[in-house]
Amino acid sequence: MSVSTTLPDWPPALTPEQHQHLILLSSTYALSHGFTLLPPQSANPPTSAISAPLTLLPTPFPRGLYELAVALQPLYNALYARITLDWEFLDRVMGGSVSKVDSFQGELWRGWKSIRNDLVQPLQLGLFRSDYLLHETQGEELSIKQVEFNTIAASFGALSQRASEMHRYLQKATDGFYSISPHLTKPSNIPQNEPLRNLASGLAQGWKAYGKDDAVILFVVQEGERNVFDQRWLEYELLESHGIQVIRHTFSELSSLATIDPSTKNLLLPSPLQPSSPPKEVSVVYYRAAYTPTDYPTSAEWTTRILLEQSKAIKCPSMALQLSGAKKIQQVLSEPGVLEDFLLGKDRPDVGFGVGAGSLTRADVDKLRSSWIGLYPMDDSSYGQKAYELAITEPERFVLKPQREGGGNNIYRENIPTFLKELEAEAREDGEPSKKEGYILMELIEPPKGLRNHLVKGGDNHSRNSDIVSELGVYGVSLFGGDVKQNITSTAGTLLRTKGRESDEGGVAIGISSIDSPLLID
């Protein structure tokens, strides 16, 4: 789908006094409402916080494309549930060359394969985020194109809600941002957005499905986490709105603390402040770590991951669901007939989302495909050979992506040919695939030019007026895999991250991207 919306010149002019007033209002609001990060080298326990990187004004986004992205999420929820339940597909895609040349994905796939026949918890919980960029090509209308689909540690839901609340506050406190634009004076142009409430509700649904009123939810977190407030807001929402306690631990802590009851397979943890009391039973394991190789510095962390996977607790995500979010899966889905099989195939499981056998149509498939840009394998198939030729001869059109989450891993444009030749030059054993097969080639999405905004880096008392690119994320919740009647799905709000156009990579915590709100334009 595309739209003929013309985005306005942005931002409208602010006087120096208005600009400084907005910085004062936004920074004090952020600090007052926990729209914050820990500063670098923070003390433990922390003694200070800085506002998260933010934008002074919301950024224009076509209303029709925003609504399309939100409407696609239930289809994605169903798609990734079906992928996760299809072991044969995961074995073929992730157990093939990817597992041989990518040590992290290989360890994840082999670990899951070694225990999957003995798992005791059929239910799986996904807190997803599907990320999109606006795409504009000469002579065509604006459209949205998917960047990636996140199945693990989809962050910033709480801070995104705070950003939306901040921009709505600024709208009210300044008479529609001083009426500098008619788009800013209409409250409905900044949509209500509650991912904090909705994601916490999804975790609570998992807790409820587990069926033990005194069970806790475990957050598996990284050492030295700066984005701790985004996580803490989920913890507070679970306690205050649902009466559910949260325990936070790193992998290294869990290696000595977590145990499984041999008869019930219950996951047990000692109470943090009452170690002599009976251990706490864990209903849901929610990962805000475990998505990057640095989370597994030794074999002990992999042993702990396997231990958690074998327990009765519902995993968010399971190892299979994490594998489903790999870039290679995204690429294979784009091949002819693959998406159609998952959504229209008559032997596909009814995952209970109102999208059972026969309920989806070719139009649903076309909607998803319309949001995709060109994706190519880097293998020795004829399709892969064509992709290699494109990457060498027209690199300015592409980005080369490994099987990684978290940003900072991609190879862009003119750097691609040299990088590919270096991969091919690496020594390998007989029969071992080239390391380039651990990558996919993706056409570059071309965001519209001419939009600017005032970006405020966390901790600064001034802004930078920059040519910008904004990435829209749509959150989804999916509980699936057990009794179909118990399964749930929902769309859970949005995230807009805005960065200077000069940067290929993002990253809110390191100050490259700012958390923003969409200003819907008809």
What are the residue numbers of the active site? Answer: 129, 148, 150, 155, 327, 401, 405-406, 497
Amino acid identity at 213: D
117 labeled part of a ligand binding site: no
Q: Is 452 annotated as a binding residue?
A: no
Query: How many CA atoms, within 13 angstroms, populate the side-chain half-sphere of residue 451?
Result: 24
- Encoding tokens for residue 312? 């009765």
Is 328 annotated for ligand binding? no
Residue 443 annotated as lining a ligand binding site = yes
The reply, when asked if residue 404 is annotated as ligand binding, is yes
Report the alpha-carbon distance of residue 395 to residue 417 in Å, rounded.
7
Q: Which residues contact 5 (CB under 8 A, 6 or more apart)?
A: 62, 63, 64, 65, 142, 521, 522
150 is in an annotated binding site: yes
What size, in residues, is the chain?
Answer: 522
Round to whole Å and give the CA distance between 236 and 434. 47
44 is in an annotated binding site: no
The identity of residue 92, as a single letter, is: R
**291 known member of a binding site:** yes
DSSP SS3 for 276: coil
Buried b (16+ CB within 10 A) or exposed e, 173-196: ebebbbebbebbeeeebbbebbbb
**Residue 478 burial (CB < 10 Å; 0-12/13-18/19+)?**
buried
Pairing of strands 142-150, 2-3: antiparallel
509 is in an annotated binding site: yes
Is 154 annotated to bind a ligand? Reply is: yes
Could you tell me the CA-to-CA distances from 77 to 74, 261, 354 in Å, in that order?
Answer: 5, 32, 11
Both structure tokens of 479: 């509980």
Q: How far apart are CA 76 and CA 149, in angstroms?
A: 9
Task: Say whether 193 counts as a known binding-site residue.
Answer: no
**Is 505 annotated as ligand-binding?**
yes
Residue 247 annotated as binding site: no
Whether 266 has a binding-site annotation, put simply, is: no
C-alpha angle 12-507-477 in degrees, rounded to nearest 5: 95
- Residue 49 marked ligand-binding: no
The alpha helices in 5-97, defined as continuous H runs, are 16-32, 63-85, 87-93
Q: Is 395 annotated as a binding residue?
A: no
Contact 378, 387 (CB under 8 A): yes
> Is 142 annotated among the ligand-binding residues?
no
Structure tokens at 480: 């699936």
400 annotated ligand-binding residue: no
Q: Which residues pair with 513 in a beta bridge?
A: 499
Residue 408 among known ligand-binding residues = yes
Rounded to whole angstroms, the Cα distance separating 515 from 54 reads 5
Query: Was 497 annotated as part of a binding site?
Result: yes
63 assigned ligand-binding residue: no
Binding site as annotated, residues for substrate: 129, 152-155, 225-227, 231, 288-291, 497, 508-509
Question: Which residues define the annotated binding site for ATP?
Answer: 148, 327, 401-410, 412, 442-445, 471, 499, 505
Binding-site members for Mg(2+) are 148, 150, 405
**Which residue ranges are tagged as binding site?**
129, 148, 150, 152-155, 225-227, 231, 288-291, 327, 401-410, 412, 442-445, 471, 497, 499, 505, 508-509
